[in-house]
Structure 1
């Protein structure tokens, strides 16, 4: 066993969340270290480097709001790709020297709380041991990839790659490629590689309700004008809207609008692009089935217009007349040329609901109709154990010695999406029971991170050695998360990572706070204003 290394705060993960924690905790004079499993900073943007990977939040709100960081940085596109986001992280390091406090290729295996000294002991995969008063889990919502079990996959003679572990400088030109999965990752990859591969076979389980990205180049001059007057306004606006974007949901009920009013609203949001049609339109499509049907009907006709009218079978596969689940109750993906891709002669779409995947063969994949689809490379765009996977993959044991994985097996429990009972001084960042999946990432990351930093500062200034949520406060908040979820149509979405049913055996439940960022912020701020109400406080003796 190596010598124990002592810190005030240990942060797990060096993405946006972890770096925001590091940058601001250092300002308090605390001894902070970030433990990162990857080989560089960036979090999900270190791992996600498959062709076409890009963010679905527009410039400028997907970046740190600190003027010291945005003043000298400019983007090239409205929706930056992974290479540009990686360049941004390098810029942040150049400005603030964050890497000096990050330990790379350091995978945390376990974290154990000792009530007698109010400290966490962390052990890593390579045998390092750390001790800390505060533990901040910045593992993100998509850090644990998921690969379904496929019969015969070990027999495949070609290459198999999961999109979350894409090899660097990998050329698919002229290759025969099979892709399993049409989530956000699949959509981005499919539209990007279709023009260069010899043949692309896409295996789709559920059609993706994609929205038009409306991507465009943005000039330095355009950004400088915004910086001079509007950047602080735009960053401030993020915490005032349901999802942390600069546009808000319309509280007017869909069916109270005239047909003409509704269609013009839909058309306006569609042309503006991004998530405007989803979280900038009528709010009640999340909770009212008739309102949801109206939104889906508009979406379906817009998409069908882009699919060859000579191929009604393809139209039905990609935009079925009957919605397979409520619109927008699974996160839509943004696309640029996704639907046109399927008109290409070198692209085949296979509906696995009609012809199931039977097994992987040495030369490709066999479906239940007896067809063997041949390819050189198999891509698994099969997603992640979202929201909780990054946390439960660490053996975390609190006051009672029970692992968090075991405790959450029958349902996630948290207080404010920031902490969990029996796990003192452990903070959850951008994870379960927060609005993470419904928001622009940086909007909720900075809000939650600021709360945690102020809490640690409060504890230090008031000689508090530990804080842990009470079971009563946790039960009340968890009940609120479930109550909000039940008031919407969320549980009607099959195989949705919002509710965990994309992972076999995972409990189906509402995993996120669906009341919006302003309501969430008020709950967190109110608790802090009342002396961290809902927490059991232990002071230094």
Structure 2
């Protein structure tokens, strides 16, 4: 454990992709750095997400860091790796980069306070168990690190076992032959249902919003395929740098409105059977802007899905005739036999739109119709206080004495999705008003983490010890982020993209939806190459800080 007098150039918080990459790059560039990780091992969300069926929905080889020493020596086993394979990959990163020598595990940063006289952050770990100081702090807490529990009446009276998918016990849970309730059909719900349905004596799914999940198609990576990907990697990497989401595929260049229906149906067939997210993020881009074209895409998805569901009542709940929201405007999950589970006699589904949960009772769940369903285990697959929750759950006090949570309570303000005014020398990756939910952890690590490293190098070269985003800069960025997000069908959905899943959370764009190429223009061409435009930089003894004009 780090002692109370330790001081670093940079403290990194969180040991996922962004944290691992940043710690390595900081050390490579001569900064003293230390990483605090709340878990007992690396992986970030892949450390905590050990629920049944946990698996990534970005395919190999895109879901990895691109440094040659990391990818040349790792052998991926599946197109879409499962949690155990991803944990193994992080152990590989640790071995290759010797990361653990500068990491404190089981160490949660619980509070931070800025000392403006010293241009330093003072950090508290594990509620005062230890302390340290750092010139700069980089938060790599991810967009899904604060679980959300819905406010269900009498939630504490249930006498069985309750679990949240993101807080799953590391040694697992016995579900064989038990009566299990699963609340939620988002990504973790879909994956959990697919596994629990095989072993539970009874499984009841409580669904609020249908998930327009797509077939995963997850073959093993053969030796020949692995070698093919290795040979193709340089070109794949170039393609990833040019695409909207950092994948090795992109939206169709031609507009759907410029094609015939026959052409579109042929394209949809191809994309659907390719598996993965191609039918969503590899389709015609105007499907996400034109309601009629969007309805057509939903109808195609529904026709494919209905063929797989024999239970007519379940079919209408899972794939209703009227779309629950425009197709693709809520996070689409990938599935492997998800819909077929609802054909089994031991599986039931409750439509919470028509029959909500009224309360928990000692033996299970009572719904609004008065029916009590008895369970041994209740699983909350209810998601997260996404995008901002990982940051606001820490007590971070800025230069004026304001806490970041209070600042963002009525709306998020960041500059470039990596900084916020009144909080000098504080950076965050994979967070609010960045490409986050429309990107991958590895791409965010290298794009945003790379920007932070270059900023710190610039400050060191110029002798600056303090950098802070200006209020006008973050107001302009917020306006731009919301303007981009509202130019399409996304605002029609009640999604966590806009904070709609958390009661009382402001409804606003939490992600930058213009893609990586445009985002990189902002952070490099419009900011870094212009002397860090939009920031105020100063030295410890400066009386007149330098502000790069807007």
Output the TM-score relative to the length of structure 1: 0.97
Structure 1 segment 54-453 matched on structure 2, within 5 A? 54-127=55-128, 128-167=130-169, 168-227=171-230, 229-308=231-310, 311-453=311-453
Residues 156-179 of structure 1 show CA distances to partners (whole Å, capped at 9, x for unaligned) of 111101111111232211111011
Question: Offset of 1:225 from its aligned partner?
Answer: 2.9
Q: Which residue of 2 aligns with 1:534?
A: 534
Q: Which structure 2 residue ranges, 5 or more long, are not aligned?
A: 542-550
- The RMSD of aligned alpha carbons is 1.3
Q: Which residue of 1 aligns with 2:547?
A: none
Alignment size in residue pairs = 537
Residues 500-534 of structure 1 show CA distances to partners (whole Å, capped at 9, x for unaligned) of 01001101101000011110011111111111111
Q: Which residue of 2 aligns with 1:502?
A: 501
Structure 1 residue matching 2:84: 3-state secondary structure: helix
Question: Offset of 1:2 from its aligned partner?
Answer: 6.6
Structure 2 residue matching 1:161: 3-state secondary structure: strand
Following TM superposition, where does structure 1 have runs of at least 4 consecutive aligned residues deviating by more than 3 angstroms? none
Question: Offset of 1:399 from its aligned partner?
Answer: 1.6
Question: Offset of 1:206 from its aligned partner?
Answer: 0.5
Identify if the C-alpha distance between structure 1 residues 123 and 300 changes in structure 2 by more than 3 Å, giving closer, same or farther.
same
Structure 1 residue matching 2:501: 3-state secondary structure: coil
Q: Which residue of 2 aligns with 1:42?
A: 43
Counterpart contact for 1:178–1:378, Cα < 8 Å: yes
Residues 196-247 of structure 1 show CA distances to partners (whole Å, capped at 9, x for unaligned) of 11110000010001011011111133212321x2112212221211111111
Q: Counterparts of 1:118 and 1:126 in 2: how far apart (Å)?
A: 23
Q: Which residue of 2 aligns with 1:6?
A: 7
Q: Counterparts of 2:181 and 2:106 in 1: how far apart (Å)?
A: 31
Residues 412-431 of structure 1 show CA distances to partners (whole Å, capped at 9, x for unaligned) of 00111111111111111011
Q: Which residue of 2 aligns with 1:512?
A: 511
Counterpart contact for 2:309–2:315, Cα < 8 Å: yes
Q: Which residue of 2 aligns with 1:20?
A: 21
Residues 264-302 of structure 1 show CA distances to partners (whole Å, capped at 9, x for unaligned) of 111111011101000000111222212211211111111
Question: Offset of 1:126 from its aligned partner?
Answer: 4.1
Counterpart contact for 1:409–1:506, Cα < 8 Å: yes
Q: Counterparts of 1:226 and 1:332 in 2: how far apart (Å)?
A: 26
Residues 294-324 of structure 1 show CA distances to partners (whole Å, capped at 9, x for unaligned) of 211111111111111xx43222101111111
Question: Offset of 1:362 from its aligned partner?
Answer: 1.1
Q: Counterparts of 2:197 and 2:26 in 1: how far apart (Å)?
A: 45
Counterpart contact for 2:437–2:511, Cα < 8 Å: yes
Counterpart contact for 2:255–2:286, Cα < 8 Å: yes
Residues 30-57 of structure 1 show CA distances to partners (whole Å, capped at 9, x for unaligned) of 1100011111111101100001000000
Q: Counterparts of 1:233 and 1:251 in 2: how far apart (Å)?
A: 19
Q: Counterparts of 1:126 and 1:474 in 2: how far apart (Å)?
A: 31
Q: Counterparts of 1:371 and 1:486 in 2: how far apart (Å)?
A: 41
Residues 37-89 of structure 1 show CA distances to partners (whole Å, capped at 9, x for unaligned) of 11111110110000100000001111111110111111111000001111111
Q: Counterparts of 2:416 and 2:366 in 1: how far apart (Å)?
A: 47
Residues 105-138 of structure 1 show CA distances to partners (whole Å, capped at 9, x for unaligned) of 1111211111111111111224111111111010
Structure 2 residue matching 1:328: 3-state secondary structure: coil
Question: Offset of 1:540 from its aligned partner?
Answer: 4.7
Counterpart contact for 1:109–1:124, Cα < 8 Å: yes
Counterpart contact for 2:54–2:192, Cα < 8 Å: yes
Q: Counterparts of 2:441 and 2:259 in 1: how far apart (Å)?
A: 31
Counterpart contact for 1:244–1:444, Cα < 8 Å: no
Question: Offset of 1:432 from its aligned partner?
Answer: 0.3
Q: Which residue of 1 aligns with 2:479?
A: 479
Q: Counterparts of 1:331 and 1:414 in 2: how far apart (Å)?
A: 23
Q: Counterparts of 1:357 and 1:150 in 2: how far apart (Å)?
A: 7
Identify if the C-alpha distance between structure 1 residues 14 and 105 changes in structure 2 by more than 3 Å, giving closer, same or farther.
same
Counterpart contact for 1:287–1:487, Cα < 8 Å: yes
Question: Offset of 1:140 from its aligned partner?
Answer: 0.1
Q: Which residue of 1 aligns with 2:455?
A: 455
Structure 2 residue matching 1:327: 3-state secondary structure: coil
Residues 363-418 of structure 1 show CA distances to partners (whole Å, capped at 9, x for unaligned) of 11111112111111110111100000000011112121111100101100011111
Counterpart contact for 2:119–2:540, Cα < 8 Å: no
